[in-house]
């Protein structure tokens, strides 16, 4: 899309600690850490990393024939890049052995086809061993133990296109030629393995919850010889990235800890003491540590800034932003931003919830009074999904909300208790009760009430939008209350009784299949209650998505029309559950803004 300047991601310290590599979208940069921040452009590609103990950088490049090959280039002094992988291989992941003599390559172009794990000798560029990998297991990472004896990776398991997926770690003993599934005692799923610097021990994310992707993960440590997963963090902390200190006595990691922001933490594995290293309104991810253990680098994503590389001394004595994506990359159109504030409120039972507000750029939220604003409430999907604070380049993320705020709207990113932010017990209660709504709708309505009581939101000009599960909640609220003046629902379920395929995610939340408990599926289907709807509604679906195949939009549109509701159905050609095509994204932006302008501002500007 290119709406905004490109985002920095995936930093990595050189082995000497004097330079740092990072990406700006598909461009690779190296910056010196001597205080002058001199930047070198390495080339175009992805998955760049330093060759162990060397000033050389390896990276992946895509070719016109669809293959992805591995290349190597010296940084100091700069040299021409050379290809080091055999021709015709699609490389999805790779990792160097500690001595840089071997490179492990994961080749899986399509998750529904078998893949291969190959060992390639770097000097001769020949394949010295390979293993076939099962279909429907998509690899996410790849790494070697400190002694080069074991390779670890994690996979997402896809039973089929519609069922719940899950995560598991795999390890391969290179000498014994045996692949082992890692599901330690005390866990149902594992992912993101990180090797101990001196022992055959893994830090990994593990969960005791048997619900596939509907689960929350904690940090655990596991010895590859076997045994239980030794959990190091507790609910409601949700761990994202982690890295060992060089001495193996401290873990640095990023996590949510009962709030939306993803902060940096340091955990002593000696006495269990925990330090929080950041406390601002931002997400920190892609965490790495210098070889001397003195510096952390991470991507810092803030709700009003493009993601940048952030450097922080582990003793907290210094910190600074390293990358300059605004200067290095150009935007295709001017950046439009609202004014961001964190927003907290209490739900009806006293639970404190987190949200984000985006005010129009000409409104100072710290200087009252100002007139209550037309307000758009944005409901995220999941439901297990913490709202992202990074200003991503997509209309369904904060970037799109900034566009709406720039048009004079107050935008409210409303979190709810089943996002996972506030503890597993809220999720388990909903699962036990077979209630796919739970208190989520009440949480959102209580947030709106708080906005109104504080004089921010105009109760006569409330709009609602949501995507995926957020669109299901949107559809539910549409049928349960008349307080909204306009609704935009994107890829949301409307009639659960029309579910035609196996969907184990759905079955978890309802407590059974549609055939087993049809009354409950009807009870929680928004289409059951369309007779009481009055709110103008814009329904948007991808033509290739499974909801469109079930005619969810057509069924709901017809029912709303029978109730006398002004309703429009927009099918985006070539799209699935998530919009990716620029023309469709442009159309979505135009239609959404015009719909809200018409019903919240009285401006009849709907495009054809």
CATH of the domain at 400: 3.40.50.1820
Does 252 have pLDDT greater than 50? yes
Work out the average pLDDT over 530-553. Answer: 91
Nearest to 217 by CA among 230, 194, 234: 234
Residue 439 lies in a domain: yes
Structure-block tokens of residue 86: 């055999």
Residue 530 lies in a domain: yes
Work out the average pLDDT over 370-378. Answer: 96
Count other C-beta atoms under 10 Å from residue 436's C-beta: 26
Answering whether pTM is above 0.85, one says: yes
Structure-block tokens of residue 491: 């890829």
Contact 88, 107 (CB under 8 A): no
Work out the average pLDDT over 528-541. Answer: 97
What phi-psi label fits residue 175: left (phi over 0), alpha (psi between -120 and 50 degrees) or beta?
A: alpha
- Which residues does 313 contact at the CB level (< 8 Å), separation at least 6? 294, 295, 296, 319
| Percent of residues, the chain, with pLDDT higher than 90 | 68
User: Cα separation of 252 and 233, whole Å?
Assistant: 12
Structure-block tokens of residue 513: 């299949």
User: Cα separation of 601 and 37, whole Å?
Assistant: 48
User: Cα separation of 116 and 90, whole Å?
Assistant: 10
Domain residue limits at 537? 339-600
The CB-side HSE value for 461 (13 A sphere, CA atoms) comes to 22
Residue 489 lies in a domain: yes
> What are the pLDDT digits (tens) for 10-24?
999 999 999 999 998
Residue 587 lies in a domain: yes
Residues in the chain: 608
Does 263 have pLDDT greater than 80? yes
Contact 68, 60 (CB under 8 A): yes
User: Cα separation of 233 and 213, whole Å?
Assistant: 19
User: What are the angstrom distances between the C-alpha of 32 and each of 38, 119, 322, 483?
Assistant: 5, 32, 10, 56
Residue 387 lies in a domain: yes
At residue 470, the 3 state secondary structure works out as: helix
Q: How many domains does the chain have?
A: 1
If you search the block for the tokens 């045996």, which residue do you land on? 178
> What is the reported pLDDT for 423?
93
> What are the pLDDT digits (tens) for 331-343?
444 567 899 999 9
> What are the pLDDT digits (tens) for 48-94?
999 999 999 999 998 877 789 999 999 988 889 999 998 888 999 99
If you search the block for the tokens 């439901």, which residue do you land on? 383
Provide the terminal-to-terminal Cα distance of the chain, rounded to the nearest Å: 22
> What is the reported pLDDT for 185?
81
Structure-block tokens of residue 241: 């990235």
Residue 145 lies in a domain: no
> What is the reported pLDDT for 498?
79
Residue 350 lies in a domain: yes
> What are the pLDDT digits (tens) for 402-459?
999 999 999 999 999 999 999 999 999 988 888 888 899 999 999 999 999 999 999 9
């Amino acid at each position: 899309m290119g709406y905004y300047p490109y985002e920095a991601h995936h930093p990595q310290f050189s082995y000497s600690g004097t330079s740092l590599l990072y990406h700006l979208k598909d461009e690779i940069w190296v910056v010196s850490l001597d205080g002058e921040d001199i930047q070198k452009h390495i080339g175009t590609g992805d998955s760049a990393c330093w060759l162990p103990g060397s000033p050389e950088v390896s990276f992946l490049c895509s070719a016109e024939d669809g293959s992805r090959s591995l290349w190597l280039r010296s940084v100091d002094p700069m040299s021409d890049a050379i290809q080091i992988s055999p021709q015709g291989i699609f490389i999805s992941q790779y990792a160097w052995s500690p001595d840089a003599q071997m490179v492990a390559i994961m080749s899986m172009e399509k998750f529904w086809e078998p893949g291969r794990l190959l060992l390639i000798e770097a000097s001769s560029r020949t394949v010295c061993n390979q293993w076939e990998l099962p279909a429907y297991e998509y690899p996410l990472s790849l790494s070697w133990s400190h002694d080069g004896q074991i390779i670890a990776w994690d996979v997402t398991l896809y039973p089929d296109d519609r069922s719940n997926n899950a995560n598991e770690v795999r390890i391969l003993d290179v000498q014994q030629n045996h692949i082992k599934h890692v599901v330690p005692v005390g866990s149902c799923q594992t992912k993101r393995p990180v090797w101990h610097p001196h022992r055959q021990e893994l830090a990994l994310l593990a969960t005791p919850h048997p619900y596939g992707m509907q689960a929350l993960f904690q940090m655990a440590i596991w010895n590859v010889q076997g045994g239980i997963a030794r959990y190091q963090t507790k609910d409601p902390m949700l761990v994202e990235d982690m890295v060992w200190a060089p001495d193996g006595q401290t873990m640095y990691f990023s996590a949510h800890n009962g709030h939306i922001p993803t902060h940096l933490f340091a955990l002593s594995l000696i006495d269990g003491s925990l330090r929080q290293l950041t406390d601002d309104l931002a997400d920190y991810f892609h965490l790495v540590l210098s070889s001397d253990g003195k510096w952390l680098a991470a991507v810092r994503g803030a709700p009003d800034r493009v993601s940048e590389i952030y450097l922080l001394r582990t003793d907290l004595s210094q910190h600074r932003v390293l990358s300059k994506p605004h200067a290095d990359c150009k935007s295709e159109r001017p950046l439009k931003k609202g004014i961001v504030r964190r927003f907290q409120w209490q739900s009806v039972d006293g639970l404190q919830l987190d949200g984000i507000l985006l005010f129009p750029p000409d409104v100072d939220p710290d200087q009252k009074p100002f007139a209550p604003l037309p307000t758009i409430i944005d409901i995220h999907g999941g439901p297990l999904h913490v709202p992202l604070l990074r200003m991503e380049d997509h209309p369904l993320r904060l970037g799109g909300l900034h566009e709406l705020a720039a048009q004079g709207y107050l935008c409210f990113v409303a979190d709810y208790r089943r996002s996972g932010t506030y503890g597993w017990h809220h999720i388990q209660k909903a699962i036990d009760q077979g209630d796919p709504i739970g208190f989520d709708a009440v949480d959102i309505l209580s947030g709106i009430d708080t906005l109104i009581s504080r004089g921010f939101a105009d109760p006569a000009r409330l709009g609602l939008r949501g995507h995926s599960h957020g669109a299901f909640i949107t559809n539910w609220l549409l049928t349960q209350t008349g307080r909204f003046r306009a609704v935009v629902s994107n890829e949301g379920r409307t009639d659960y009784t029309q579910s035609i395929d196996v969907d184990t995610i759905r079955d978890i939340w309802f407590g059974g299949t549609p055939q087993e408990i049809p009354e409950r599926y009807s009870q929680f289907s928004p289409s059951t209650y369309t007779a009481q709807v009055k709110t103008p509604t814009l329904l948007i679906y991808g033509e290739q998505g499974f909801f469109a195949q079930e005619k969810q939009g057509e069924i709901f549109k017809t029912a709303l029309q029978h109730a006398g509701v002004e309703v429009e159905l927009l099918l985006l050609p070539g799209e699935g559950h998530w919009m990716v095509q620029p023309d469709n994204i442009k159309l979505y932006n135009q239609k959404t803004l015009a719909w809200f302008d018409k019903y919240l501002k009285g401006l009849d500007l709907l495009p054809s």
